[in-house]
Structure 1
Amino acid sequence: MERFDLGLVFSTTGPYAALGRAARAGAELAIADLARDRVAQISPIICDPAGRPDAYEAMTRDILERGVSHVVGAITSWSRKDMIPVLERYGALLWYPCPYEGFESNDHVVYMGAAPNHHMIPLLDRMLAAGVRRAYLLGSNYVWGWETLRLARERLNAAGVEIIGERYVPLGDTDCALALSEIAELGAETVINSLIGPSNVAFMRGLPARGHPEVVSCNQSEADLETLGEAGDGLVSAGTYFEELGPEEFVRRAAVVAPNGRCSSFFATTYASVCILAHSIQRAGSTAPKAVFRAACERSHDTVLGAVRIDPITRHADLTPHIAQARQGRFHLLASSEGPIIADPYLTSLQPVQGGLRKTPSLRIVK
């Protein structure tokens, strides 16, 4: 049985604490399961940067100075980008389990979360297939909000969709009054929502109970759906895991250890990341990052996310995109890809919108 230390760097307090708590719980369940199955005895070194970028850098350095070679963590791209120079200096590897906006491939990161062609592109194509003509863009004021909405703006504009407004809310701020008034006054058909944490809760709860536009998102999950209450009903989200997908036994066990009793994409992807890491160390016979990464890329992995293969060039996981809608505190699948899609972080294979609106969705409808 392999034995190694593992850094877990998740903000379990601060503006996106719900996501960090879900992800850390997924890592801890994986560690327990791997010990039970005698695959690995992992000693976690747990840090909580509380959403402060400078703390991510300092805490990562403290972990790596102890001789640790692998870290699972970060939630935002802001935090990941602050960790990367430290990882490069110490030759360590970050297993990043969260959806992000793409346009990165670093030799010291394994991107286990959804890339843009796993979340935003399927979501936009669904909108275009439905004939949306007037959209409002709303995001948290940092790289996730900027880049996801830039992509949305460019693709929707190319299809002839009018962007009637675009606003950004400081991370953690709950004042969404201006956006809410503009959405009502300008007559948006759809709101693309890239808010996170308390900002997202304040916005969703601020919408009128009836008659508001459809709200779609790439980062909504079971980790924070419960906090929205009835305000979450109707929300459409894109991602590479929803609780409804199971497996049933995994969801049941997650309910016992997840902070809110729910199995989210943050929980499931972090669980899968730790399992792939441990099995790759076992095959490599070493914790050396380069050897472990080679071992991780040599085969497809059977995970709670389904079949996952890591591309040795882009360093991203091939994942299966899904679209789901929230009803009564649960996400219910609307459409899914037939299987894993090769990650395209730089969107080099993205087909441009031709001749106006797309007529067919890129995902199959879930019956």
Structure 2
Amino acid sequence: MTLRLGLIFSTTGSYAALGQSALAGALAAIESLQRHDTRPITPVIADPGGDMASYERMTREMLQGGVRHTVGAITSWSRKEMIPLLERHGGLLWYPCPYEGFESNDHVVYLGASPNHHVVPVTDWIAAQGMRRAFLVGSNYVWGWETLRLARECLTQRGIEVVGERHVPLGAATPDHVLDEIRDRKADCVVDSLIGPSNTSFLQGVAARGSAGRPPVQVVSFNQSEADLAEIGPAADGLLSAGSFFEANASDMLREAARRHAPNGRVSSFFATSFAAVEMIAAAHRSAGTDAPSAVFRAAVDTPAVTAMGAMPIDPVLRHATLTPRLAIARNGRFDVLHSAAAPVAADPYMTSQTAAKPSATSASQRKLRVVK
């Protein structure tokens, strides 16, 4: 039985590099599977160009055309546009991107990093470096809002003062006044939840204000990957990023697949997770003997496939994948992994199991608290 698999990624528009990498990963997996599997997969590809109305229209067309499984969406905004249609038509979205958590839907399988995989490790790292003044900057949509809200909570719990926060319109260049504020407020680190051109212009602006090849402030990211690292250039050097997968973790097979399929020839978390998503769907479809979403999901839970990213068990209730949190530093156009969790970590999308050290009684953030009656 042929599986018609929807692939809906914005390969044009303000975050095109991420969509291109993710689509390349999915197509590379389909090609790899077709060499070994007698069950053909027919990709049904759509490019919404980052336009939310197009996501809604294209998703409806796919579902009405009989596509029951889709790998796709990059932003949480686009995922949330798709969910009502998935609910109405009985489809299943396999979402391969890091996201801000606080969601669990019966029509989504969450394969990207959750906040306990990225926000918590990054804020722990900031505290361990002895940094005490953080500035938050993010894209002006749900990912930026929510990841920075969580970052603020985690940083404050660790006794770190948040000295400012700014949001940049999606797709816009980061304005100079944001860089001025970071300097004027004497931040020693910046938590960066920007994507696309906003992120590129921000990192290049930070680097330009440095001296002797060193940026003036440590920048940390929850989502920077190899998908657009090259276009940022030397300005990315020294950036710390959290992720579930970096090119350094890839097998020779996955690297070769990226060289042949990815526009920049690189393995990113977007490429790898989309590749793994297709592997999981194909294995579960074969096991279930049907493309019915509930049966395929149950097969994926009951018999986890070993993917290009290793085993990624899915929680049957929360519907999130178990992943290995990693931290990496960008150097010379590549990421060097600094730390990997000793074992894969279950997703905690609602942050119910997180604990943090009690804030110091003398922390700046606590001194500013007052009781209002």
TM bucket, shorter chain: over 0.9
Aligned to 1:234: 238
Matched residue SS, 2:102: coil
Give the counterpart letter for 2:240 in structure 1: V
Matches within 5 A, 1:312-323: 312-323=316-327
Task: Tell whether 2:225 aligns with 1:221.
Answer: yes
Q: Deviation digits for residues 303-345 of structure 1, max 9, x if unmatched?
A: 2222210010000000001000000000000000011100000
Aligned match of 2:95: 96
Residues 62 and 204 of structure 1, relative CA distance in 2, 3 Å threshold = same
Matched, 1:179 2:178: yes
Deviation at 1:39, TM superposition (A): 4.9
Q: CA separation in 1, counterparts of 2:9 and 2:119?
A: 24
- Bigger Cα displacement from structure 2, 182-191 vs 231-240: 182-191
Counterpart of 1:155 in 2: which secondary structure? helix
- Note if contact 2:111-2:321 (Cα within 8 Å) is conserved in structure 1: yes
- Shift, 1:211, TM fit: 4.2
By how many angstroms is 1:355 displaced?
A: 4.6
Ranges in structure 2 where 5+ consecutive residues have no aligned partner: 362-373
Matched, 1:85 2:89: no
Q: How many residues align?
A: 356
3-state SS of 1:256 partner: helix
What residue is the counterpart of 2:192 in the other structure?
193
Distance 1:148 1:201 in 2: 19
Give the TM-score, by structure 2 length.
0.93
Matched, 1:254 2:261: no
1:11 aligns with 2:5: no
Deviations 1:162-182 (A, max 9, x none): 111100000000142111111
- Contact kept? 1:155, 1:353, Cα under 8 Å: no
Residues 356 and 283 from structure 1, CA distance in 2 versus in 1: closer, same or farther, beyond 3 angstroms? farther
> What's the offset of the Cα at 1:354?
2.3
Q: Which runs of 5+ in 1 are unaligned?
A: 358-367
CA distance in 2, matches of 1:3, 1:128: 51
Q: Counterparts of 2:11 and 2:347 in 1: how far apart (Å)?
A: 28
1:360 equivalent in structure 2:
none
Question: 2-side partners of 1:275 and 1:253: how far apart?
Answer: 14
Alignment of 1:64 onto 2:63: yes
Q: Is the 8 A contact 1:119 1:238 kept in 2?
A: yes
So what's the TM-score if we normalise by structure 1? Answer: 0.95
Deviation at 1:185, TM superposition (A): 1.6
User: Aligned partners of 2:359 and 2:135: how far apart in 1?
Assistant: 22
1:89 corresponds to which letter in structure 2?
A: R
- Secondary structure at the aligned position of 2:2 is classed as strand
Partner of 1:365: none
Indicate conservation of the 8 Å contact 1:5/1:42, yes or no: yes
SS at structure 2 position matched to 1:318: coil
> Are 1:240 and 1:305, in contact at CA under 8 Å, matched by a contact in 2?
no
Q: 1:330 aligns with which of 326, 334, 346?
A: 334
Query: Separation in 2 of the partners of 1:231 and 1:356?
Result: 34
Q: Following the alignment from structure 1 to structure 2, what is the Cα–Cα distance between the partners of residues 239 and 356? A: 29
Note the C-alpha offset of 1:41: 0.8
CA distance in 2, matches of 1:96, 1:40: 23
Residue 309 of structure 2 corresponds to which residue in structure 1?
Answer: 305
Residues in 2 aligned to 1:115 and 1:330: alpha-carbon distance in whole angstroms = 23
CA distance in 2, matches of 1:303, 1:7: 19
Is the 8 Å Cα contact of residues 95 and 108 (structure 2) preserved in structure 1? yes
One-letter code aligned to 1:243: E
Aligned equivalent of 2:30? 31
Q: What corresponds to 1:152 in structure 2? A: 151
Corresponding residue for residue 44 of structure 1: 43
Matched residue SS, 1:105: coil
Report the Cα distance in structure 2 between the residues aligned to 1:288 and 1:320, rounded to whole angstroms. 30
Q: Choose the corresponding residue for 2:344, options 320, 327, 340.
A: 340
Tell me if structure 2 keeps the 8 A contact 1:39–1:279.
Answer: no
Distance 2:320 2:122 in 1: 20
